[in-house]
Structure 1
C-alpha cells in the first residue's frame, strides 16, 4: 500500500513538472512555434466584422490557467501583451469575427472599444447605456460596445479590424485605423512598453497612387535616412550630444523623429530612401510598432519612400519577408520584396519618370539586400556580401532597361542604395569629402558588385551601417572617375555614435536633370542645423567627376 502511494505521488509530481514545461514553453512563449504561423497574422480580411473582443491571461504559477481559447471561435493576436518580458505571466488579445453574410440574429457587432477603469457609458455614477448598445467589461480595463441593430455591420461604426501596438509613442500608419487612447491596464513594470488596442472601422481605405516624377523645373531630390534604429517604446539614447541637451533627458525615438521631421519640412524631398537598420532589433520586441513611427511621419508629409534592410532589422519580432509584406501595404510606400529565388528580401529597382506626362525613365534606383552576418565565420569573419545571383539579377535588369532609357531625351542617371558598405569603401586611395571616423566594416569577401555597378553605368552608390563615417569617396578606373561611394551618416539616437563627438546626420541627393548633375550635402541634428555640410557636385553631364579644387 505504501509503495502504491509513493508511486502515485511520483506520477502526479512528474505530470505537474511536464505540464509546467509545456505551459511555459508552448503557451507563454509562442515563438517556439513555426514563424510562418505566428510572426504576422492579419487581424482582418475583407468581408469580416468583429463580434467580440476579450483578453486571456496565464501564469506558470497556475498550471490550470491558459492563454488559449477555442480556435474555431476566437482568433488570437499573436502578440504577448507583456512582449515576453514578464517572467511568469502572459496575456493575449482575442477577437471573434464573422463574415457579414454569416451573421445571425443572435450575433452582435462591435461598434466601439474603450480602455479605462470606469464604464464609458456611465455619467454621474449612473449608466446611460441603451439596451441595444451597452458597454461590456473585459479584462485589463477593456470595454466593448456591441450592437444587435439591423444593419449594424454595414454602418461606418462597425469594427472590422483589431490589432495591438506598443509604447508611449505608438502611432498608427494604416489608413482607417485608430489607437484607442489609454493603454491597457496591465500589471507590467516600467521596463515593459505599454500595450495599446488599435481598431479599424468600415471597409478598406483606397491607397493613394504614387508615381515619382522629375519636377517641371527638372529637379528631383532624394533624402537618405540611414540607421534610424527605432525601438518598441521611446528607446534609449546612445552617445547623444550635447550631454546637457533638454536637461540631460534624451528619449531616442522622439528625438530621432523630431530631427527627421525638421529636415523633411526644410528640404521637401521628392523621395526618401530608408537604407537599412530602421529597426533596432534587440530593443524592438514588436517590430510593427517601430516601423509605423517612420511610416506615419512620411505618410503625414505625403512623401513616397523605399526601404531596404540592414543587419539589425530582423532581430526583433518580424522576419525580413514579414516586414516587407507589411511595408508594401502602407500608403506612399514603393518598397518591394523583389523577385523570388534571389538571395535576400528587397532586391528591386525604382524608375523616376521624366517631367510632364512622359512615361520615360529619367533616374533609376537600384536597391539591394546586403544581408547581415557572414555565413562562413571561419573563412570570412564579419559581414555577409551581395551574392552572385543578386549581381546576375542586377546585370539582367540593367540590360533590359537600356532600350527604354535611351528614349529619354536628356542624360539618364543610374544610382544604387545598399546597407553594408562594399569592400572598396576601405580603399585608402579614395578621393573623399567628409569624415572618415571609424574602420569600414565591409565584408571580407569581395563578390565584385562595385565592378558590376561601373559596368552598368551606375554613377553613385550610398550605404549606411558605419554610423559615424559620413564621407563620399571617389573610386577610379585607372585615372578616370568611375563611381562615387557615399555614406548616409547615422540618423537615429538608438544606435551608437561614439567616435569623435559625432552629431547625427541626414544626407541629401539633389538631381538636376537639365544638366545631368547630382549634388549632395548633409544636414546635422544639433549645432549649425540650417547649413548644408560638405556640399559637393559628384556627377555632372551624367558622369562622375572629381571634386573641385579649392
Structure 2
C-alpha cells in the first residue's frame, strides 16, 4: 500500500512539472519560448586548464533524470541545449571539466584535441594500427572523442584546448580567431527537424583581433555597403517570397542564397565599410543566435572588410539579448560595432570616424548609428513600433556639437550620415521627392520624437534605414524650401524575410563618397534578373557637402 501511494505521488508530481513546463516555457506550437533559453558566451578563464569533455542526456518528464554533472568535480556546463529546446521530452548538454593549472595532479590529463564521428579519429594503418595511438583517443557519448595528454607542460602547449563551444546547423561556421569546428555533427537522436550540433574548440591563448581604422582612399573615395534585413537563421533557413519560383529546380535555402548574393556584391563593389542596419538575425528561426551572427561575420572577415551593426526588432527574439549579442560582436575581427553609452536607451548608439587620406588624423566622414528598439511600449496610445528616445537624441546632439570643432580641421568638406533600422515618421511624407519604389506601407512609429529635425540641425545629409523590406526609395525632405535631408531605404537583402507586394528581387544599397567634391552617390544592386550587373536608380544626393534635388 505504501509503495502504491509513493508511486502515485511521483506520477502526479511528474505530470505537474511537465504541465508547468508546457504552460510557461512552450507556446501553442510546442516551441521553447525565447525567455526560456539561456544566454551563453564562452570564454577561456585564465589559469584554468580543460581536463575532460563529455555529453549528458536527460528526460525532461523524469524527475530523476538530470543533465547535470557534479560541479564539485570541476564540471562546467555549456548552457546550450543540444536539441535547442525543440525536443519535447529530451535535453542534452556539452560539459567541460576544468582545473587550475597549479591544482593539476599526477592523475590529471590535459585535453589536446577533440573530434566528433562514429569512428576513432586515429584510424588504422595497413598493419592494423598502433595500439598506443588508438588508446590516446577516448570515446564519449554522442560520437565525441577526446585526446588527453599527461605530459608535463601540456597545458602550456599551443596544442592545448582552451575553449569548447557548440554551434548549430549544417551551414555552421566559426568567426572567432583561434576557433574551429571539429569532426562531424554530434550523434544525437533529435530528428532531422532539429539543426545539427557542432563542437567547436579553441587552442592556445588570446589572439590579436584585427580592428582596422577606416580611411578615405588615396583617390579621395570611400564606399559603404548597406546590408538591410539579412534575416539569418539557425540552419539554412526557409526562403520566403523568392523569385524566380523555379530557382535551382524549385529548391531555395535562404541563408546560403543570401550569403552568396552578399559575397558576389562584396567582390564586385569592393566596399570600404559595411553597415548592417538591423534584423541580421531572424529571431523566430534562430534558437541559437550566435550561429546566425557568425555566418555574416565570417563572410566579412574573409573579405577583410570593417563593419558596423545596429539591431532591428527581430534580432533579439532568439536566444540572446541585444546586450549579449553586442558583447560578442565587439570581440570579432573587423567589427567596429559598439554598445554605446550605458546610461541612454538602447544598445548600439555610437559613431565611427572615417579619417582623411594618407596619414591624416582628421575625420573626413562621421557615421552615426542609433538603436530604434522594437515594439511600442504604449500599444494602446501608439500602436506599432518604438521610437528614438529623448536621451538618445540629446546624446546625438551633444556628440555632434562636440565634434564640430575637430571636424573643421579637415581640409575638405566634412560629411555626416546616419543609419537606423526602423524608418522615421517622415518617411511616409507624400511630399518627398522620390527616387526608387514605394511598394508597401511605411511602418514607422506613430509617435514622432523629433529625430529628423535633430539630424537636419546637426548637418547630417543622409539617413539610411531598413525594416520595410520592399520599399527601396530615397526621399528628399525639404527644409525652408531647400533640400534638407535624404532619407533612404536599404532594400531587403535576406531570403529569410518577406518580399511580397507583387514580387521583389532582393537588393543591396551602395553609397559612394567622393571627398574631393563633397559628393555622395547611391545606387542599388539586384540579386536576380536582367539588371543583375547594373546600377539601379543611381542618384547624386549630396554635392559640395549639401543635399541636392535629383538631376534630370
Deviations 1:448-500 (A, max 9, x none): 00000001000000000000000000000131000000000000000000012
Cα displacement string for residues 1-20 of structure 1 (whole angstroms, at most 9, x for unaligned residues): x7x77765654444444565
Mean alpha-carbon deviation: is it higher for 97-106 or for 156-165?
Answer: 97-106
Which residue is 2:54 aligned to? 54
Preserved contact between residue 418 and residue 462 of structure 2 (Cα < 8 Å):
yes
Distance verdict in 2 for CA 1:6–1:530, change over 3 Å: closer
SS at match of 1:168: coil
Q: Distance in 1 between matches of 2:201 and 2:482?
A: 58
Counterpart in 2 of 1:295? 297
Paired residue for 2:548, among 524, 545, 548? 545
Distance 2:548 2:130 in 1: 74
Aligned length: 546
Q: CA, structure 1 residues 20+524, in 2 after alignment: closer, same or farther (shift >3 Å)?
A: closer
1:253 and 1:12 mapped to 2: Cα distance? Answer: 46
- CA offsets, 1:484-542, max 9 Å, x none? 00000000000000012210000000000000000000000002221000000000000
Q: Structure 2 CA distance, aligned partners of 1:498 and 1:234? A: 21
Question: What are the residue-to-residue correspondences of 1:42-441 with 2, within 5 Å?
Answer: 42-72=42-72, 73-123=74-124, 126=128, 128-130=130-132, 134-441=136-443
Q: 1:386 to 1:13 in 2, by over 3 A?
A: same
Deviation at 1:285, TM superposition (A): 0.2
Output the aligned Cα RMSD. 2.3
Q: Secondary structure at the match of 2:136?
A: strand
Give the secondary-structure state (helix, strand or coil) at the position aligned to 2:361.
coil
Question: Are the counterparts in 1 of residues 14 and 61 from structure 2 also a CA contact under 8 Å?
Answer: no
Q: State the distance in 2 between where 1:176 and 1:453 align.
A: 42
Unaligned runs of 5+ in 1: none
Cα gap change, 1:136 to 1:446, in 2 (>3 Å): same
C-alpha separation in 2, matches of 1:282 and 1:467: 17
Residues 394-451 of structure 1: CA deviation (Å, up to 9, x unaligned): 0010011111001111100000000000000000010010011000000000000000
Q: Which one is further off, 146-155 or 458-467?
A: 146-155
Please say if residues 354 and 361 of structure 1, whose CA atoms lie closer than 8 Å, have aligned partners that are also in contact.
yes
Q: Which residue of 1 aligns with 2:462?
A: 460
CA contact (8 A) 2:40 2:78 kept: no
- Deviation of 1:60 (Å): 3.0
User: Any conservation in 2 of the 1:49–1:161 contact (CA below 8 Å)?
Assistant: no
- Contact in 2 for aligned 1:170/1:289 (Cα 8 Å): yes
Kindly indicate whether the alpha-carbon contact (under 8 Å) linking 2:280 and 2:315 is maintained by their aligned counterparts in 1: yes
> Conserved in 1, the CA contact under 8 Å of 2:40 and 2:80?
no
SS state of the match for residue 95, structure 2? strand
TM-score by length of 1: 0.95
* Closer/same/farther in 2, CA of residues 5 and 102 from structure 1, 3 Å limit: closer
Structure 1 residue 33 displacement after superposition: 12
Gap change, CA 1:147 and 1:395, over 3 Å in 2: same
Task: Provide closer, same or farther for how the CA distance between residues 195 and 26 of structure 1 changes in structure 2, counting only shifts above 3 A.
Answer: farther
Q: Which residue is equivalent to 1:486?
A: 488
Distance 1:235 1:428 in 2: 36
- What are the Cα deviations for residues 19-48 of structure 1, in whole angstroms up to 9, with x where unaligned? 65689899999999988x941242422333
TM-score by structure 2 length? 0.95
User: 1:81-100 deviations in whole A, cap 9, x for unaligned?
Assistant: 00000110100000012233
8 Å CA contact retained: 1:410, 1:514: yes
Query: Alpha-carbon deviations, 1:350-406, whole Å to 9, x = none?
Result: 100011111110000110000000000100000000000000000010011111001
Structure 2 unmatched ranges of 5 or more: none
In 1, distance between residues paired with 2:14 and 2:119? 39
Judged with a 3 Å threshold, the aligned counterparts in structure 2 of structure 1 residues 24 and 536 are, in CA distance, closer, same or farther, namely closer
Cα distance change of structure 1 residues 61 and 373 upon mapping to structure 2, 3 Å threshold: closer
Query: SS at 1:49's partner residue?
Result: strand
